[in-house]
Amino acid sequence: MLEGNFITLKSELLIRHIQQFMNNKLSYKVLTDYIWEILKDWQRLNIVDDKIASEKEQVFWYLVFELQMQDEISLLHDKELNSKLDHCILFLQGQLDMPDDCIGVRPN
């Protein structure tokens, strides 16, 4: 399952980027550039099935979408957003149950 390996690898790197950004060790530009890199790498896989393979993949795409849609100030200072992102990260790391309302979809 190619997409499963992709999600696993990219999740680890995405979490690292988010944590570094939140700790002021990574710029917003580098974070957003990484999001675009994820999308380009996904496109290269040429997966045409839009069906989500797992809850982990669903949360992964939710994180990618939120990071792409939110501005730097919101990502750094919106407590509710930060709480939700933290829950998603902990879920991807296997430390919490699936977060509510974190419904991601595969990009086309």
Which residues, in sequence order, are CB contacts of 16 under 8 Å at separation 6+?
none
Residuewise pLDDT in 10s, the chain (108 residues): 578 899 999 999 999 999 999 999 999 999 999 999 999 999 999 888 888 889 999 999 999 999 999 999 999 999 999 999 999 999 999 999 999 988 899 987
Cα(98)–Cα(84) distance, rounded to whole angstroms? 11
Q: For residue 95, what are the CA distances in angstroms to 11, 25, 27, 54, 106?
A: 14, 24, 27, 16, 24
How much is the pTM?
A: 0.93
Contact indicator for 83, 33 with CB cutoff of 8 Å: no
